[in-house]
Structure 1
Amino acid sequence: MKARKHWLLLFMIVLTIGIVLAACSSDTTNEEDPDEPEDTEEPAEDDSEDEAEDEPSSDEPQMGGTLTGAMDTAPSGVFNPIFYEEAYEANILDFTHESLVSQNENLEFEGNLASEWEINDDQTEITFTLEEGVTWHDGEQFTADDVVYTYKAIASPGYVEAGGVRTDYVVRLVGYEAFNSGETEEFEGVVAEDDYTVTFKFAESNVTILKDVAFPIIPEHIFGEIPIAEIPEHSATLDAGAVIGTGPFQFTEMLEREQYVLSKNADYWKGEPYLDQIVWRIVDQSVMLGLLENGEIDFISDPNGVPAADYETVAGLDHIEIIEQTDFGYQLMGYKVNHRPDADVESGAIEPDNWIPNEDVGEQLVRQAMAYAIDRQAIVDNLLYGHGSVINAPIAQQFWAYDESAVTAYEYDPAQAGALLDEAGYVDTNDDGFRETPEGEEWVVNLNYPTGNQLRENSAPILAQFLEEVGIKIDLRQPKEMSAYVEDLTNDNSDWDLYLLGWSLGSGDPDPSGLWQSSAAYNFSRWNNPDSDQLMLDAMQAPEAFEQEYREEKYSEWQSVFSEDLPALLLYAQNKIYGFNERLNGVDPMPYSFNNDPELWWVSE
């Protein structure tokens, strides 16, 4: 009863804050891609000048105009597909860069920069015919050499050490290990047959062959002579006007941490975009809704969308349209199960055999106890206003592989939490209300979280309160700006115990290894479980894995292992709520992104 009273008191405090923010006019939250917030947007320009006597009908697409969107967190500033890490940066790159294939609303792959492809019988090779006449933003021709270069760069020695995390796209290619280790300077995995034909060669039959070849392409003529270690700091990675892609818009201007301008690529190979510009403004959540209401911004979309608390207010605005759909991702409270040694952090190495167990949350029973201690449904009901769901498996609910029946639900049960802590030897030996370690020493668990996502910021003290109610003393750290937060998270600041984060998942395949395999860069929990690693490998192993039923079985087993060992407590999947001014036309979001076919967006004035 005491816990419930404290929860209600804390919720009333957060609710009061939310009401104040809503009265000021809004808030929105940003989500990580592999997690990082981004904000940016530019003031809308008045495009109401008469251009001709015969004005086009308002229901027909019109050329011209500026569209203004809002993000609550600024991109950290890496605008290069092979090195970026955040969903906020993705809000720039989605408009500037393209892949050989894309996906439709059913998650089926379709041609994009490639017009057609052929896969051999054992699925070890795929040959693409590229679209001809595609040019980069600087006018250079797009060719097969650009495709080869992109994958070769990701496979290069020093890529991971330079901060790259996209190796999952290349590790299955022929010759990856020899090339990555420096044994050879030739990379056999991707070959340009001619200017418009390229072949990918895989070491074994590849179950996810189309997903692996769907990475955005970067220009060889820009980066080809740049050492891989220098690419993250190169102007073509960092600077507006220097970032070059093939997409419908070019990143042309930036007032860092305030606004980011995308100007149309008039020579876009699919046809000239209708809009002149798309501007991202970085706007605090407390004022975002007011700006949407008065027309200073036109849309609120990824990564966080309209806050659930503001749904009814936005839905009541006559000139604003709403689209709500299940998020392709989740929010979590991660456990730093292990830490990397200083030498590995300095070298960028991810060597699970070197990891050091975290004494504060390394015990499985402790992690399970914390899960039982937190009332996640109350968070969904009271902070998300029901616009979301509690999930227990780290696979997008839209995928066939998601299996809620394979996992432990960890429903709110403080008594069970206490029993597990007792079993693990964490008991209150001095009657101060907090448990000591099995050795009788003070036990303090720190909880870390970033700024930018208001819902996540509001969740942090509530999570701390739930944990303290079962006797776990929590050090609720001051939140950090996202770019600094992710740097600390990646570098394994040695005293971190708990961290809050959100993942926007890839839509190509349910394979979770990019986030949870022990050697994955994004495995921020530094979870090292051989059974988990083996099941993820088995689920990709041909020929059995060409049968979906087999993969379902393996992923079901994997979700059970994840749920029991619990490297992270999945808090909820928040519904994506997109709000946009009715003057914006042509919006057709994918299940995984609002930013779909922006060349077809147009505004009616």
Structure 2
Amino acid sequence: MKMRKNWFILLIIGFAFGLLLAACSSDSASEEDPAEGSDSGEEEPAEEEPASDEPQMGGTLTGAMDTAPAGVFNPIFYEEAYEANILDFTHESLLSQNDSLEFEPNLASDWEINDDQTEITLTLEEGVTWHDGEPFTADDVVFTYKAMSSPGYVEAGGIRTEYVVRLLGYEEFNSGETDEFEGVVAEDDHTVTFKFAEPNVTILKDVNFPIIPEHIFGDVPIDEMAEHPATLNAGEVIGTGPFKFTEMLEREQYVLEKNDDYWKSEPYLDQIVWRIVDQSVMLGLLENGEIDFIADPTGVPAPDFDTVDALDHVEIIEQTDFGYQLMGFIMNHRPDEQVESGELNPDEWIPNEDMSNQQVRQAMAYAIDRQAIVDNLLYGHGSIINAPIAQQFWAYDENAATQYKYDPEQAGALLDEAGYEDTNDDGYRETPDGEEWVVNLNYPTGNQLREDSAPIIADFLEQAGIQIDLRQPKEMTAYQEDLTNNNEDWDLYLLGWSLGSGDPDPSALWKSEAAYNFSRWNNPDSDQLMQEAMQAPEAFEQEYRTEKYSEWQTLFSEDLPALLLYAQNKIYAFNERLNGVDPMPYSFNNDPELWWVSE
């Protein structure tokens, strides 16, 4: 059989290490002062100043990312986790969450929900200003949600409609039938009411989106907002957060300066600098102190855990990823007209003949030894995941999903049954029509683990007789553009999702019309189950929603628009001089105004 050099050579390099969790204290030890005075006649040696446990003002932190942000620094338009590493520091939502994922006050100090869960009125903090000194008001909240509800928002590249589709009058306003926006109303400068068409199970999640300034974007047409200087340029991006985005050397360095007038408290740090560096040199920079932390979105690569753990001046926090890596199947393609218009209409999609075959997708799942990948690439710092809901959520049900344990015989039997057989004895299977069958596998650069996984996955599939065209990887920005356009030239894609923490509802990724549904999975039963899981009044009972999501996870794993590969543990590493770190289950970037450095 014509195959690449067998990947199992990798297995002899090392086997899984035990899962090691090191959450170290950042407190500094201090020595007692020596007794004053001496009659020995000898000069006492000078003593070092004791280290302070109190937060210190000033200093610069340097973080590292392995991939540059695409450059869209606007919450309603950005797409990548790398851009979130800027926006997490510059923009804020009305609410926040604690480590149990419960909602707490943020820009809104309190709120009241009516009896039938169709309205929520929030009281906003007073005295909050934007980075340019303008006051933050309820009008900014109305404007943000109105922009995401506007006609042309999706066509302009907007993908946050999950936060607005349930608002009262959304369809009429979005379609252009009316200029009246009923869904969000400013009662006064510091009071805002959200109105929903029906009782809303996710009412707190839906009002918890980062706010953008009306005084900057109010006169900008929606189709120009993604290209506006205040979306793209350092120094012009305006938020209410603890840091301002002030400088960038594109694809090399991004600088955040503290917001002296931050409404919660003045940040301790003067500056946070993001450097874009290749993973191959990242650990060396951490070791010699040129960078201070490695965090989201990829963290420390699992194979380097022991190396980093051995550094005396570096602390490690390891936690389960709030997301997963996947191999997606392009089941349908968008016609050119939809790509040009930005429309998503499943009724007009063009089936991708081989990948739209359920038996082919299931066969590929059985052909890949995911546990071997976890053991030998993640060194045990991760787990197989079969259901596309974050493991930290109550809705996650591993037992509801088909497990797809490594079974080459089952893979072969399914392919035979589907009519994909090796008819000319060249080692590769032909299509049911007897034509050469070549499946392309596409993946992006930036995440070394994903890059290392790609040839291994290709080798597993070739051992099942599937000829694979392993494409040259593309830089993430170009890769995501191709995925979005979904031309007729792709079959398989590798991608990772960092999931939203507000609610387990998976519709933003897997509903037929969802912009992030890159597989172009069009399954009415799936859409129906996700809708039922949100349908009041039954959905106000968590037990009901749990049951519906279990049914959905069973359906997902059987129809299989994507094979979930693994959930890699997040391994955060930071110099011990950084204090105040308190990651959330879904992000390292928590309360950065409380971070401080001890020199």
Bin for the TM-score computed over the shorter chain: over 0.9
Deviations 1:559-583 (A, max 9, x none): 0000000000000000000000000
| Residue 329 of structure 1: how far off its partner (Å) | 0.2
| Residue 9 of structure 1: how far off its partner (Å) | 2.5
Deviations 1:476-519 (A, max 9, x none): 00000000000000000211000000000000000000000000
Matched, 1:490 2:481: no
Deviations 1:443-462 (A, max 9, x none): 00000000000000000000
1-structure distance, mates of 2:9, 2:583: 39
Q: How does 1:120-199 map to 2 (within 5 A)?
A: 120-199=114-193
1-structure distance, mates of 2:11, 2:282: 23
Partner of 2:341: 347
Matched, 1:463 2:450: no
AA aligned opposite 1:573 = A
Partner of 1:378: 372
Partner of 1:64: 58
Partner of 2:38: none
Distance 1:297 1:374, change over 3 A: same
Deviations 1:124-174 (A, max 9, x none): 000000000000000000000000000000000000000000000000000
1-structure distance, mates of 2:50, 2:265: 19
| Residue 339 of structure 1: how far off its partner (Å) | 0.4
Q: Secondary structure at the match of 1:322?
A: strand
Q: Secondary structure at the match of 2:555?
A: helix
Partner of 2:241: 247
1-structure distance, mates of 2:220, 2:340: 23
Q: 1:227 aligns with which of 221, 227, 231?
A: 221
Deviations 1:175-202 (A, max 9, x none): 0000000011111000000000000000
| Residue 345 of structure 1: how far off its partner (Å) | 0.6
Deviations 1:78-104 (A, max 9, x none): 000000000000000000000000100
Deviations 1:324-383 (A, max 9, x none): 000000000000010000001110000000001101211000000000000000000000
Q: 2:566 aligns with which of 572, 578, 583?
A: 572
1-structure distance, mates of 2:59, 2:140: 32
Misfit runs of 4+, over 3 Å: 1-5, 10-15, 54-57
Deviations 1:301-345 (A, max 9, x none): 000100100000100000000000000000000000100000011
Matched, 1:529 2:523: yes
Q: 1:88 aligns with which of 74, 82, 85?
A: 82
Matched, 1:216 2:178: no
Partner of 2:70: 76
- Contact 1:14 1:458 (C-alpha < 8 Å) held by counterparts: no
Q: Secondary structure at the match of 1:82?
A: coil
Partner of 1:34: none
Deviations 1:383-428 (A, max 9, x none): 0000000010000000010001111100000000000000000000
Q: 1:322 aligns with which of 292, 310, 316?
A: 316
- Contact 1:78 1:238 (C-alpha < 8 Å) held by counterparts: yes
Partner of 2:27: none
2-structure distance, mates of 1:180, 1:300: 41
AA aligned opposite 1:401 = A
- Contact 2:393 2:504 (C-alpha < 8 Å) held by counterparts: yes
Matched, 1:266 2:260: yes
Partner of 1:394: 388
Q: Secondary structure at the match of 1:536?
A: helix
- Contact 1:464 1:476 (C-alpha < 8 Å) held by counterparts: yes
| Residue 280 of structure 1: how far off its partner (Å) | 0.2
Partner of 1:293: 287
- Contact 2:339 2:485 (C-alpha < 8 Å) held by counterparts: yes
| Residue 14 of structure 1: how far off its partner (Å) | 11
AA aligned opposite 2:416 = D
Deviations 1:91-125 (A, max 9, x none): 00000000000100100000000000000000000
Q: 1:202 aligns with which of 173, 196, 212?
A: 196
Q: Secondary structure at the match of 2:226?
A: helix
- Contact 1:3 1:466 (C-alpha < 8 Å) held by counterparts: no
Q: Secondary structure at the match of 2:457?
A: helix
Distance 1:409 1:61, change over 3 A: same
**Rg: which structure is higher?**
2
2-structure distance, mates of 1:511, 1:316: 40
AA aligned opposite 1:512 = P
**CA root-mean-square deviation:** 1.6
Q: Secondary structure at the match of 1:142?
A: coil
Deviations 1:38-64 (A, max 9, x none): xxxxxxxxxxxxxxxx98952110000
Q: Identify unmatched segments of 5+ residues in structure 2.
A: 16-47
| Residue 4 of structure 1: how far off its partner (Å) | 13
Q: How does 1:541-580 map to 2 (within 5 A)?
A: 541-580=535-574
Q: TM-score, normalised by structure 1?
A: 0.92
2-structure distance, mates of 1:327, 1:75: 21
Matched, 1:283 2:283: no
1-structure distance, mates of 2:12, 2:288: 29
Partner of 2:9: 9
1-structure distance, mates of 2:307, 2:13: 21
Q: Secondary structure at the match of 2:315?
A: strand
AA aligned opposite 1:6 = N
Partner of 1:30: none
2-structure distance, mates of 1:414, 1:348: 40
1-structure distance, mates of 2:110, 2:126: 12
Q: Secondary structure at the match of 2:318?
A: strand
Q: Secondary structure at the match of 1:551?
A: helix
2-structure distance, mates of 1:596, 1:248: 11
AA aligned opposite 1:157 = P
Partner of 1:48: none
- Contact 1:301 1:579 (C-alpha < 8 Å) held by counterparts: yes
2-structure distance, mates of 1:76, 1:12: 38
Deviations 1:269-319 (A, max 9, x none): 001000000000000000000000000000000001001000001000000
Partner of 1:304: 298
| Residue 247 of structure 1: how far off its partner (Å) | 0.1
| Residue 10 of structure 1: how far off its partner (Å) | 5.2
Partner of 1:18: none
- Contact 1:338 1:527 (C-alpha < 8 Å) held by counterparts: yes
